[in-house]
Amino acid sequence: MSDLRQAVLQYLEQAAPVAQAFWTTERARCRPTLIAACDVLYALILLGCGDLLVPEAANRFTSLLSNSRLAGGVGRGAGRPLNIHLSAYALGTLNLLLALGRAVPEDAFRDSGWRVGELVDPQTLRPRWPAYLSHHSWRVGHWIGGVPSIIKSLWALSPGRAARNGLPALDSVLRRSDELIDSETGLLRAYRLETPQRLFRLAYRLRHDPDVGDIGGVAHLHWVNYAAGRLPYKSAPALFARTWRVLQRRPFIEGVPYCLDFDVLHLARTSLPQCASIRRQFADRVRLYVEDVSRFYSGRLDAGYSLHKLPGGLAALHECAIATGEDEVPGLQIPPVDVAKQAHWI
């Protein structure tokens, strides 16, 4: 086992022992939080440790999921409703289990009574999002990208129920979602008025870079466009230019590797122009990223690094291998996982 993989597994044992046991220990009766279970499953898959899962893993997760109500009322759970992001993430976990050859139980979803109108406007087929958040691209992206992700997952996991409950076609929802992308910038524009947006960006800059937040917002939608084969993206050249500028930061986009790094790397790879010199520069930058993230995960993982950051950071490492055409992920010695295609969400 590689040193990098061993270091991350040791971190999981310390940071998420209940969730790790949930997936890997026979006759375990532990009940992790849903998000911790999803985080650990993604991490195990991205570490190439899917063989550690117990035979009843899919049944266990479906039972855990039954304690919560998925967005749109599609699941059998009657508990506290899950938000769009966590609903998409839970369905992504089922997608990864299916990719491992683990059958998803038929009773994971309701036969009828899905509330599709909670996901999309029935007239426009656009994803619904809270109007008061329209100025916040990164958060709104969880709805504008998360709803198509949920729809894609449901058509894959339970097509018969999706059809009977009137779930719209994915392509129709994605086409309407693309209308929310600004033609000049390639970024989401869910807001209407420019002045409030400028004021928000000034306030947001006190904690995060709003330009990076904009990229993270549209990335949520483009994960699904990519998984659905809808390339090139709308205004891809402008989007790449902005993404490439952000990618010059080192070692990571922010202080530690997490999903934002995956967002930027994935958008850059999937909107990369044909120019040979740009492609060489991109490959060079990706190799530096591999060095930095491998060094971090081999020696700097501790309790200060939150569990939910791990899947995004590992996915970024896989993204680097895909970008440079590697047969194996550096440091892990496993074939890369194209997580946006397999899970449709992260």
Residues 6+ apart with CB under 8 A from 51: none
Question: Could you give the C-alpha distances from 23 to 17, 37, 99, in angstroms and in order?
Answer: 10, 8, 16
- How many CB atoms lie under 10 A from the CB of residue 157? 18
Tokens of 313: 């950071």
Contact 106, 66 (CB under 8 A): no
Question: Which residues on adjacent β-strands are paired with residue 188?
Answer: 181
Residue 1: what pLDDT? 65
Residues 6+ apart with CB under 8 A from 140: 129, 133, 134, 188, 190, 217
* Angstrom distance (rounded) from CA 277 to CA 345: 31
Maximum Cα–Cα distance for the chain, whole Å? Answer: 58
pLDDT < 50 regions, the chain:
none
Contact 45, 61 (CB under 8 A): no
Residue 67: what pLDDT? 85
CA 231 to the chain's CA centroid = 18
Q: Which of 6, 60, 59, 52 is nearest to 30 (CA)?
A: 60
Residue type, 106: E
